[in-house]
Amino acid sequence: MGRYQVKAPRIDYFFFYGPAPKQIFQEHNSVRAPAMDWPASTARPGTWDTLRDSLLRLTQGAMSADFEPSFDLAAYAEAPAELQQRARQLGSLVREVTPGTLGLSGFRKQLESFFNIYAVEVREHGHPDWHPLPWQFPDDPECARHADEFMLGDEMLIAPIYQAGGKRQAYLPQGIWTNLETNQVTRGRQTISVETAALPVFARNGTVVPLDSAGGMALHYFPSLGGEFFLLENETGEYTQVHAAPAADGMRLEIESKKDRDYQWVVHHVEKPASVGFEEKTYQEAATLRALAVDTWFYDAAQKNLQVRVKVKAGEDRIINIAW
């Protein structure tokens, strides 16, 4: 909606067809200049308004292929406790964050392996860490109305709360979504009310979400569509691959590990299995979650989640078959 005059000895125009936004960004990646750092906000002290504006700048920056934002939590050091909490939840999901005295959220600390693989996506494909909803779901016109939400990678929808009171409306695009805090399942293409002290995070059906812990890694799988995830092992530069999918009357879980690691599968929304194991090896059921040991499984009847713990050596391909 404007007219511009450009004076220069030469002007280069680049047209990217796509057709989808992901392909447009990938074509743009081959010619774009080196990314420049830019702050989500320079306002001090941080307020609810600056937190909201920072969220919008971050999602709109991602839509404009500005891949190097930064977030300074020090601006919220003297803010009220509720604002500090919401700023920590949002800022911790920015790759370049200055923790200040607030520190990073526990969720961010679980996402180190997740961010490692999406750093490769940024570098090699020109895809941002934060996927704006119209970028991820270009066929859903409603997504363009919700710049205050974003996908973290392809797996999780994040709907940060940026005002006092702990409530907001969140739009869920096409698909089936699981609230990571409550394990509640909601069908997409609708707006829902969210009230929580935690960061609202919704996992998409057919994905595997890896979460780091001091003891190893949890692999959260959300059936019934098949899912996979590739983990970059920094020590060797190799990729660990994890796959999960329905198979005949059961389910198949597979880990092709490039590193010695303790894994814990968490399969959401399933009935209690009749057996868990592979070929001649049968895993035993643990009486409690606390008693879950290597090569055992536990079923949480209240949540309808199945947990299976395995220890996999580097170079090993571990398959688990679940039967009902």
Using CB atoms within 10 Å of the CB of residue 13, give its burial: 0 to 12 exposed, 13 to 18 middle, 19+ buried. Answer: exposed
**Terminal C-alpha separation, the chain:** 60
Q: Does domain 21-28+35-204 have CATH number 3.40.50.970?
A: no
Percent of the chain whose pLDDT exceeds 90 = 89
Question: Which structure tokens are listed for 303?
Answer: 């949540």
Radius of gyration of the chain (CA): 21
Query: Any idea where the domains of the chain sit in the sequence?
Result: 21-28+35-204, 207-323
Q: pLDDT tens-digit profile of 243-283?
A: 999 988 899 999 999 999 999 999 999 999 999 999 889 99
264 beta partners? 218, 309
Span 91-120, pLDDT tens digits:
999 999 999 999 999 999 999 999 999 999
Compute the 3-state secondary structure of the chain and give helix, strand, coil in percent, each to the nearest 5: 20, 35, 45
Query: What does 141-197 look like in DSSP terms, one character per residue?
Result: GGGGG-TT-EEETTTEEE----STTSEEEEEE-SSEEEETTT--EEESSEEEEEE-S
Note the CATH number of domain 207-323. Answer: 2.60.40.1180
DSSP 8-state symbol, 237: T
Q: Are 40 and 71 in contact (CB under 8 A)?
A: yes
- Structural contact between residues 320 and 265, judged by C-beta atoms closer than 8 angstroms: yes
- Tens of pLDDT, residue by residue over 290-322, are 999 999 999 999 999 999 999 999 999 999 999
Residue type, 30: S
Return all residues near 88 (Cβ < 8 A) that are at least 6 apart: 73, 76, 102, 103, 104, 105
207-323 has the same fold as 21-28+35-204: yes
pLDDT at 1 exceeding the cut of 70: no
pLDDT at 35 over 90: no
